[in-house]
Amino acid sequence: MTHLLKQKLNYTLWILCYCFPFLVYSQTTSIDSLQSDYKLDAVDSTKATQITGDANYSLTISYFGNMVFHPGLRTNLEKKWKVKHKHKLKSKKRKGEFTLSKSRELVPTTGIGFYMHPRHYGALFVDGGLKFRKSRSKSYKRTIKRWHLGTGMGIYRSFLPETYKVTDDKVKKVFLPGRIYFYPYFEFGLERSWRKNPNHASFFSVNTLFLMPYNTTIMPLLNLQIGYRFKFDKWIK
């Protein structure tokens, strides 16, 4: 009975893992309609574009370091979904009057990546999730500071080196040895971009994958990402 419940739970987790990215991406609200929803006037719309950019789709490419030192690569496709802007006029003695701009975004994301543990194993993973991003900028500064929190689910496939098994007193080589795991993940990151080009940004993030079931328990993996995000609208019609 316990084995049957575990099997049903695994099937449910697999279905959720596959469907989650598609459910998130079914939201196709454009930035123009979002600006209309928040009733931004022409001036506010310009300020909003200056801090969040006009890209509906973005692509990220980053170094992915499993446990920091095991090298890999990761790429993510992001879609701007929900955006809210806020602008305040402030003043300082040295700077005079300036505009403080803030924004909050909900960004669906899906990605693929890999890493290598030299002489031990390699891994390929695919995931999808949702990211909350907050931006802040002062009109007299050239840069825009951002931070984000993200969570989601994915599938992880490990690849072991040359492996053999004994069957009926015969030694046979295993084809593509390794295992498949389901994992949720959590991520925190910092971003920075130039005001002249807010669609592009460099970023640093830390995320943790929780592989399950890993020998009847859960295995956390700490990962480091350093990369770049850029506008990807022209490749998606």
pLDDT band at 227 (very low <50, low <70, confident <90, very high): very high
C-alpha closest to that of 204 among 145, 155, 141 = 145
pLDDT score of 33 more than 50:
no
Say how far apart CA 14 and CA 16 lie, in whole Å: 5
Backbone phi, then psi, for 82, in 5-degree steps? -120, 130
The pLDDT of residue 90 is 81
pLDDT band at 195 (very low <50, low <70, confident <90, very high): confident
The pLDDT of residue 192 is 94
Poorest-confidence range of 26-30, 71-75, 90-94, 222-226? 26-30
Structure tokens at 132: 């909350």
pLDDT band at 20 (very low <50, low <70, confident <90, very high): very low
Structure tokens at 170: 């015969």
| Residues 98 and 90 sit within 8 Å (Cβ to Cβ) | yes
Whole-number average pLDDT of the chain = 81
pLDDT score of 36 more than 50:
no
State percent of the chain over pLDDT 70.
78
- DSSP category for residue 162: S
> What's the average model confidence in pLDDT over 191-216?
92
What confidence tens digit (pLDDT) does each residue in 155-168 have?
999 999 888 888 87
Say how far apart CA 171 and CA 196 lie, in whole Å: 63
Domains of the chain: 2-235 (2.40.160.20)
pLDDT score of 41 more than 50:
no
What confidence tens digit (pLDDT) does each residue in 100-146 have?
888 999 999 999 999 999 888 999 999 999 999 999 988 878 889 99
Kindly give, in sequence order, each residue whose CB lies less than 8 Å from that of residue 109, ignoring residues fewer than 6 positions away. Answer: 76, 77, 78, 79, 128, 129, 130, 131, 150, 152
**pTM for the model:** 0.75
Q: How does 55-82 read in b/e, with b if 16+ C-beta sit within 10 Å?
A: bbebbbebebbbeeebebebebbbbbbe
23 class by beta-carbon count within 10 Å (0-12 exposed, 13-18 middle, 19+ buried) = exposed
- DSSP category for residue 234: G
